[in-house]
Amino acid sequence: MKTPHIARVGAGVLLSAALAVGAADAQDRVKMNLASSYPSTLGVVGENIQRLIENITVLSNGNFQIRFFEPSALVPALEVFDSVSLGAVDMSYTTTGFHVGKFPGLVFFSSVPFGPSVSEYLGWIHFGGGKQIYDREYNKLGVQGFQCGVVVAESSGWFREEVVSLDQLKGLKMRFFGLGARVMERFGVSTQLLAGGDIYPALELGAIDAAEFSFPTLDRKLGFYQISKHNYFPGWHQQASFVELIINLDKFHALPKSYQKMLEVACGEANMWMMAKGDATQGPAIAFHKSEGVEIHKWTDEQIAAFRQAWEEVAEEAAADNLLFSEVYGSYKAFRETYAEWRDLGYLK
Amino acid sequence: MKTPHIARVGAGVLLSAALAVGAADAQDRVKMNLASSYPSTLGVVGENIQRLIENITVLSNGNFQIRFFEPSALVPALEVFDSVSLGAVDMSYTTTGFHVGKFPGLVFFSSVPFGPSVSEYLGWIHFGGGKQIYDREYNKLGVQGFQCGVVVAESSGWFREEVVSLDQLKGLKMRFFGLGARVMERFGVSTQLLAGGDIYPALELGAIDAAEFSFPTLDRKLGFYQISKHNYFPGWHQQASFVELIINLDKFHALPKSYQKMLEVACGEANMWMMAKGDATQGPAIAFHKSEGVEIHKWTDEQIAAFRQAWEEVAEEAAADNLLFSEVYGSYKAFRETYAEWRDLGYLK
Using a CB-CB cut-off of 8 Å, the residues of chain A touching B254 are 19-20
Name the residue among B9, B26, B120 with its Cβ closest to that of A74.
Answer: B9
Largest CA distance in chain B: 79
State whether A33 and B24 contact (CB < 8 Å): no
Asked if the Cβ–Cβ distance from A233 to B127 is below 8 Å, we say no
The answer to whether the CB atoms of A17 and B31 lie below 8 A apart is: yes
Residue B99: predicted pLDDT: 79
Q: How far is CA A345 from the centre of its chain?
A: 28
User: Looking at CA atoms only, how far is residue A191 from chain B in angstroms?
Assistant: 22
Binary contact (A266, B262; C-beta < 8 A): no
| Spatial separation of the C-alpha atoms in residues A318 and A312, rounded to whole Å | 10
Q: Which of A204, A206, A241, A194 is nearest to A225 (CA)?
A: A204
Q: Where are any strands of DSSP class E within A95-240?
A: 143-151, 157-159, 173-175, 190-192, 210-211, 230-233
Instruction: Decide if B193 touches A, using CB distance below 8 A.
Output: no
Q: What pLDDT band is residue A100 in, cutting at 50, 70 and 90?
A: low
CA distance A167 to chain B (A): 22
One-letter amino acid for residue B9 of the chain? V
End-to-end CA distance of chain A: 43
Q: Can you tell me whether residue B91 is helix, strand or coil?
A: strand
CB pairs under 8 A between A and B: 306
Which has more confidence, A103 or A90?
A: A90
Does the beta carbon of A89 lie under 8 angstroms from any beta carbon of chain B? yes
Residue B235 is predicted with a pLDDT of 96
The predicted structure's pLDDT at residue A177:
87
Other CB atoms within a 10 A radius of the CB of residue A33 amount to 23
pLDDT for B103 equals: 79
- Chain B residues near residue A341 by CB distance under 8 angstroms: 283, 286
Record: contact B82-A271, CB cut-off 8 A? no
User: Confidence band (pLDDT; 50, 70, 90) for A196?
Assistant: confident
Given a cut of 80, whether residue B5 has pLDDT beyond it is no
Quick one: DSSP state of residue A317?
H
pLDDT-derived band of residue B14, with 50, 70 and 90 as boundaries? very low
Q: With an 8 Å Cβ cutoff, is B188 touching chain A?
A: no
Interchain proximity A82–B2, CB inside 8 Å: yes
Residue B287: helix, strand or coil by DSSP? helix
DSSP letter for A2, please.
-
B134-144 average pLDDT score: 96
The reported pLDDT for the residue numbered A10 is: 36
Q: Please tell me what DSSP assigns to residue A43.
A: H
Hey, are the CB atoms on B342 and A82 less than 8 Å from each other?
no
Question: Is the pLDDT reported for residue A5 higher than 90?
Answer: no
B interface mutation test: which of A59, A236, A281, A290 has the most B CBs within 10 A? Answer: A59
Residues of chain A with C-beta less than 8 angstroms from the C-beta of B16: 31
| Percentage, residues of chain A above pLDDT 70 | 93
Chain segment B161-207, per-residue pLDDT in tens: 999 999 999 999 999 988 899 999 999 999 998 888 899 999 999 99
Cα distances (Å, whole numbers) of residue B266 to A18, A54, A56, A227: 21, 15, 12, 43
Half-sphere exposure of B129 (CA within 13 A, CB side): 10
A63 touches B: beta carbon within 8 Å = yes
Are A171 and A188 in contact by the 8 Å Cβ rule? The answer is yes
Q: Which of A20, A276, A346 sits opposite B28 (nearest CB)?
A: A20
CA distances from A123 to A71, A268, A335 (A): 31, 13, 9
Q: Which helix or strand (DSSP H or E) is residue A24 part of?
A: strand A23-28
Distance CA A96, CA A113 (A): 15
Omega before residue B234 within 30° of 0, cis: yes
**Using the beta-carbon criterion (under 8 Å), do B88 and A6 form an inter-chain contact?**
yes
Please check the confidence at residue A21 and state whether its pLDDT lies above 80.
Answer: no
- Nearest-by-Cβ selection for B266 from A128, A265, A286: A265
pLDDT at position B260 is 98
Q: Are the Cβ atoms of A347 and B75 closer than 8 angstroms?
A: no
Tell me the average pLDDT across A144-156: 97
| pLDDT at residue A96 is higher than 80 | yes
Q: Are strands B157-159 and B230-233 parallel, antiparallel or unpaired?
A: antiparallel
Distance in Å, alpha carbon of B236 to nearest chain A alpha carbon: 7
Could you report the per-residue pLDDT of A259-285, keeping only the tens digit for each? 999 999 999 999 999 999 999 999 999
- Judge whether B222 and B194 are in contact, CB under 8 Å: no
pLDDT surpasses 90 at B25:
no
**Which of B28, B251, B347 minimises the CB distance to A239?**
B347
Of B2, B266, B279, the CB nearest to A120: B279
The pLDDT value recorded for residue B23 is: 57
Among residues B281, B219, B223, B271, the alpha carbon closest in space to that of B245 is found at: B271
Task: Mark yes or no for CB contact A14/B275 under 8 Å.
Answer: no
Cβ of residue A61 closer than 8 Å to a chain B Cβ: yes
> Considering only CB atoms, which chain A residues are within 8 Å of B55?
261, 265
Portion of chain B with pLDDT greater than 70, in percent: 93
A96, amino acid identity: T
Nearest CA in chain B to A267: B269
Three-state DSSP class for B335? helix
Q: Does B119 touch chain A (CB under 8 A)?
A: yes
Quick one: average pLDDT of A82-106? 89
**Domains in chain A, start-ordered, CATH in brackets?**
30-151+239-280 (3.40.190.170), 157-238+284-322 (3.40.190.10)
Query: Are B97 and B111 a contacting pair, CB within 8 Å?
Result: yes
* pLDDT tens-digit map of B303-327: 999 999 999 999 999 999 999 999 9
- Taking an 8 Å cut-off on Cβ atoms, the answer to whether A122 and B335 are in contact is no
pLDDT above 90 coverage of chain B, percent: 84
Give the pairing type, strands A230-233 and A157-159: antiparallel
Nearest to B299 by CA among B173, B142, B132, B187: B187
- Give B8 or B253, the one with higher predicted confidence: B253
User: Which residue from A21, A62, A75 is facing B5, i.e. has the nearest CB?
Assistant: A75
The DSSP symbol for A152 reads -
Q: What is the pLDDT of residue A78?
A: 85
CA of B20 vs chain A CAs: smallest distance (Å) = 5
Distance from CA of A318 to the nearest CA of B (A): 24
Residues 158-177 of A with CB under 8 A from B: none
Backbone angles phi, psi at A183, to 5 degrees: -70, -45
Residue B214 distance to chain A (closest CA, Å): 11
A21 touches chain B (CB under 8 A): yes
Nearest by CB: A348 against B74, B239, B256: B239
- DSSP H helices, chain B, are 4-8, 11-15, 43-59, 80-86, 118-127, 130-140, 178-186, 196-205, 216-222, 249-254, 257-280, 282-291, 301-321, 323-346
Q: Are A136 and A143 in contact (CB under 8 A)?
A: no
**pLDDT at res. A23:** 60
A303 has a chain B CB within 8 A of its CB: no
What is the C-alpha separation between A315 and A328, in angstroms, rounded? 11
ipTM value for the complex: 0.91
Sign of the torsion formed by the C-alpha atoms of B338, A277, A116 and A193 = positive
Per the CB < 8 A criterion, the answer to whether A71 and A39 are in contact is yes
Mean pLDDT in chain A? 91
Contacts of B128 in chain A (CB under 8 A): 280
A323 to chain B, any CB pair closer than 8 A? The answer is: no
The average pLDDT across B17-25 equals 49
For the cut 90, the answer to whether the pLDDT of residue B287 exceeds it is yes
